[in-house]
Amino acid sequence: MREYAVVELGRPPVLRESPDPRPGRGEVLLRIEACGLNFADTLMIAGNYQDTPEPPFVPGLEVCGTVEALGEGVDAPAVGTRVACFAGQGGLAERGTFPAAACVAVPEAMPSEIAAGFTVAYSTSHVALEWKARLQPGERLVVLGAAGGVGLTAVELGARMGAEVVAVARGEAKLAVAREAGAHHAIDAEAPDLRERIRALGGADVVYDAVGGEAHRAAFRAMNPGGRLLAIGFASGDVPSVKLNHLLVKNVDVLGLYWGGLLRSHPQVVTRSIKALFAMWEEGALSPHVSHVLPLERADEGLALLRERRSTGKVVITP
């Protein structure tokens, strides 16, 4: 089989031939139909991610595929079942072995290209807004990186939860995508007066920050008393610091969310979230956005789209 493997951290992965894997105890073998790329994949390749494995390894955090074989001790999902799986690595290949416990059957009508990029992005935003920030109808939600993989789902879910959504993204094309997802207001991330633009709308009750950097600093200064700031990621490469005296004076909460960590510490929260999100999709209440679908031999191009922030929604690789 073919796989896109990291053989040395900080160097480009290589497309190579590898023997077909066999599932171990507690694992299933998947024929991978699609792999949803995440910004974390770029960090892992560079060796800068908190859960970077030792090379050689195959990146690709989340996949959709069909079960071809079961390892010892596994009786479900059955062979032939199409599942989505978050395993942290292994997705950029034609086949892979993954923990059976991490696999969930996808709705029959959901295309694999959608299922592969659905779970992490939507559940990250769902858990962040509902479980962490306790977003309420009528509150003003400011989403930084609003056209990205997780940001766009935050716009969509925030609007569905009854919030007034302010999308912050770079350029009119990305802002148009955010408006289509339900944003009530759209602000260019490069506007020199971002703080004042947010304050003119009434300030931020909740800030969803997948970017960091200057956008974070502007949005933080525009937060209302009692507001909540969600630290989701740092796509800008600039990890900001927060002055505790500012939290005290404004009674502001800063809440971190690492979805992969929740799988270990609070798996029931993630399980409930995914079940609810699949139900929303089957009801027609969610509209996942995939801007690029590329074959495995163009995986480096897909990763570059994320690093350079040229994609909207999800980028998906189809082995």
Chain centroid to Cα 52, Å, comes to 17
Would the CA dihedral through 298, 85, 230, 162 be positive or negative? positive
- SS3 call for 318: strand
Tokens of 20: 């077909």
Q: What is the per-residue pLDDT for 51?
A: 84
Beta strands in the chain (DSSP E): 2-5, 14-17, 27-36, 62-70, 82-86, 95-99, 103-105, 140-144, 164-169, 185-188, 204-209, 223-231, 253-256, 290-295, 314-318
∠ at Cα 113 (282, 83), nearest 5°? 65
Query: Mean pLDDT per segment of 10 residues, for the chain of length 319 residues?
Result: 95 95 97 96 92 93 97 96 93 96 93 95 97 97 96 98 97 96 96 95 98 95 97 90 90 94 88 94 96 97 94 95
Q: Report the greatest alpha carbon distance in the chain.
A: 60
Domains in the chain (CATH in brackets) are 2-118+288-318 (3.90.180.10), 124-260 (3.40.50.720)
What lies within 8 Å, CB to CB, of 279 at 6+ separation is none
Q: At 193, is the secondary structure helix, strand, or coil? A: coil
What contacts 75, CB < 8 A, 6 or more positions away? none
Q: How many CB atoms lie within 10 A of CB 209?
A: 27
SS3 282: helix
Cα 32 to Cα 63: distance, rounded to the nearest angstrom: 7
Contact call for residues 206 and 200 (beta carbons, < 8 A) = no
Helix (H, G, I), strand (E, B) or coil at 57: strand
CA distance readout (Å), 307 to 43, 264, 270, 301: 9, 27, 27, 10
Question: What local confidence, expressed as pLDDT, does residue 246 receive?
Answer: 87
Separation CA 152–CA 181 (nearest Å):
7
What is the model's pLDDT at position 235? 87
Burial 55-79 (b: 16+ CB within 10 A, else e): eebbbbbbbbbbbebbbeebeebee
Q: At what angle do helices 119-126 and 267-282 cross, to 10 degrees?
A: 110
Q: Is the pTM of this model over 0.85?
A: yes
For the record, the structure tokens of 232 come out as 């989701």
Give residues with Cβ within 8 angstroms of 245, minimum separation 6: none
Are residues 129 and 141 in contact, defined by beta-carbon separation less than 8 angstroms?
Answer: yes
β-sheet bridge partners, residue 30:
67, 96
Q: What are the Cα distances from residue 230, in Å, to 4, 183, 211, 251, 276?
A: 33, 18, 11, 15, 21
Residue range 136-192, pLDDT digits in tens: 999 999 999 999 999 999 999 999 999 999 999 999 999 999 999 999 999 999 888
